[in-house]
Amino acid sequence: GDSVTQTEGLVTLTKGLPVMLNCTYQTTYSPFLFWYVQHLNEAPKLLLKSSTDNKRTEHQGFYATLHKSSSSFHLQKSSVQLSDSALYFCGVGGSNAKLTFGKGTKLSVKS
């Protein structure tokens, strides 16, 4: 079946620094990749999605590029803010309606 591997655990950064959260995936189908963000005590919400190889996708200052050659869809931001503290999930969609998520990466931004 499909699988997703993310940067594990907690990433702690000082405000204003860049961040990259890793995501690699396995699927036998043409992949559709997602990043969801979940703030404390809230529901997950879509941040980014892409199925186009080597094209950068951006939203709310975050960006990611799908690289099918390396099965990766890393999430980046050039300057993190306190409000970016949240749990981030990478997901891959395959041939049916299912979406498979990674275990999530918690980002904590300090002042």
Structure tokens at 67: 């690289």
Structure tokens at 30: 């043409």
Q: Supply the DSSP symbol for 96.
A: S
Give the nearer residue to another protein in terms of CB position, either 14 or 43.
43
Q: How far is the CB of 11 from another protein (least distance, A)?
A: 15
Query: What residues from 61 to 100 belong to the interface with another protein (CB under 8 A)?
Result: 89, 93-100
> Rg of the chain over CA atoms, in angstroms?
13
Contact 49, 56 (CB under 8 A): no
Site string for another protein, 12-51 (x = CB under 8 A): --------------------x-x-------xxxxx--x-x
Give the nearer residue to another protein in terms of CB position, either 25 or 93.
93
